[in-house]
Amino acid sequence: MNKNTFIWTVVGVVAVILILGGYFFFGAKKTVEAPITEDVVACTMDAKVCPDGSSVGRTGPKCEFAACPTGAKPTTPTTPSTGDVSPADMYK
Protein backbone atom coordinates (compact mmCIF):
# COMPACT_ATOMS: atom_id res chain seq x y z
CA MET A 1 0.00 0.00 0.00
CA ASN A 2 1.52 3.30 -0.99
CA LYS A 3 1.42 6.47 1.09
CA ASN A 4 -1.32 8.14 -0.96
CA THR A 5 -3.71 5.17 -0.62
CA PHE A 6 -3.07 5.00 3.12
CA ILE A 7 -3.92 8.67 3.59
CA TRP A 8 -7.19 8.36 1.63
CA THR A 9 -8.12 5.26 3.63
CA VAL A 10 -7.57 7.11 6.91
CA VAL A 11 -9.54 10.13 5.62
CA GLY A 12 -12.38 7.82 4.57
CA VAL A 13 -12.52 6.05 7.94
CA VAL A 14 -12.47 9.39 9.80
CA ALA A 15 -15.24 10.73 7.53
CA VAL A 16 -17.43 7.66 8.23
CA ILE A 17 -16.84 8.03 11.97
CA LEU A 18 -17.76 11.72 11.84
CA ILE A 19 -20.90 11.07 9.79
CA LEU A 20 -22.09 8.29 12.12
CA GLY A 21 -21.22 10.34 15.19
CA GLY A 22 -23.12 13.32 13.84
CA TYR A 23 -26.14 11.17 13.09
CA PHE A 24 -26.25 9.69 16.58
CA PHE A 25 -25.60 13.03 18.24
CA PHE A 26 -27.92 15.24 16.17
CA GLY A 27 -30.22 13.02 14.16
CA ALA A 28 -31.05 10.03 16.30
CA LYS A 29 -34.49 10.07 17.86
CA LYS A 30 -34.14 11.12 21.45
CA THR A 31 -36.45 9.73 24.08
CA VAL A 32 -38.86 12.16 25.61
CA GLU A 33 -39.82 11.66 29.22
CA ALA A 34 -43.46 12.01 30.10
CA PRO A 35 -44.22 15.07 32.18
CA ILE A 36 -44.78 14.37 35.84
CA THR A 37 -48.20 15.43 36.98
CA GLU A 38 -49.62 15.41 40.45
CA ASP A 39 -52.64 13.28 39.50
CA VAL A 40 -50.56 10.16 38.79
CA VAL A 41 -51.67 7.37 41.14
CA ALA A 42 -50.03 4.01 41.75
CA CYS A 43 -52.40 1.43 43.22
CA THR A 44 -51.43 -1.71 45.08
CA MET A 45 -51.71 -4.96 43.15
CA ASP A 46 -54.08 -6.76 45.54
CA ALA A 47 -57.29 -8.33 44.29
CA LYS A 48 -60.80 -8.88 45.58
CA VAL A 49 -62.52 -12.21 44.97
CA CYS A 50 -66.10 -11.82 43.78
CA PRO A 51 -68.91 -14.24 44.72
CA ASP A 52 -68.84 -15.79 41.24
CA GLY A 53 -65.16 -16.74 41.72
CA SER A 54 -63.69 -14.04 39.51
CA SER A 55 -61.40 -11.37 40.89
CA VAL A 56 -61.06 -7.63 40.36
CA GLY A 57 -58.21 -5.23 41.02
CA ARG A 58 -57.96 -1.64 42.16
CA THR A 59 -58.55 1.15 39.67
CA GLY A 60 -59.19 4.86 39.40
CA PRO A 61 -57.74 7.87 41.16
CA LYS A 62 -58.82 6.61 44.60
CA CYS A 63 -57.57 3.03 43.99
CA GLU A 64 -60.97 1.55 44.72
CA PHE A 65 -61.79 -2.02 43.74
CA ALA A 66 -63.58 -2.32 40.43
CA ALA A 67 -67.15 -3.61 40.49
CA CYS A 68 -67.64 -7.34 40.35
CA PRO A 69 -69.14 -8.66 37.12
CA THR A 70 -72.92 -9.21 36.87
CA GLY A 71 -73.56 -6.85 39.80
CA ALA A 72 -72.62 -9.44 42.44
CA LYS A 73 -71.85 -8.19 45.93
CA PRO A 74 -68.06 -8.20 46.39
CA THR A 75 -66.35 -9.97 49.24
CA THR A 76 -63.56 -8.51 51.33
CA PRO A 77 -60.08 -8.47 49.85
CA THR A 78 -58.07 -11.61 50.35
CA THR A 79 -54.39 -12.25 50.58
CA PRO A 80 -52.76 -15.40 49.28
CA SER A 81 -51.85 -17.98 51.86
CA THR A 82 -48.91 -20.31 51.55
CA GLY A 83 -50.63 -23.23 53.30
CA ASP A 84 -48.29 -26.21 53.56
CA VAL A 85 -45.98 -25.01 50.78
CA SER A 86 -42.40 -24.47 51.84
CA PRO A 87 -40.52 -21.39 50.60
CA ALA A 88 -38.28 -23.63 48.49
CA ASP A 89 -41.31 -25.13 46.70
CA MET A 90 -42.80 -21.71 45.92
CA TYR A 91 -40.16 -20.99 43.27
CA LYS A 92 -40.18 -24.31 41.41
pTM, 2 dp: 0.36
Mean pLDDT of 75-86: 57
Q: Is the pLDDT of residue 88 over 70?
A: no
| Percent of the chain at pLDDT exceeding 90 | 28
Band (pLDDT 50/70/90 cuts) for residue 26 is: confident
Mean pLDDT of the chain: 78
Residue 49 buriedness (CB in 10 A; 0-12 / 13-18 / 19+) = middle
Q: Is the pLDDT of residue 55 over 70?
A: yes
DSSP SS3 for 34:
coil
Q: Is the pLDDT of residue 83 over 60?
A: no
Q: Residue 72: its pLDDT value, please?
A: 44
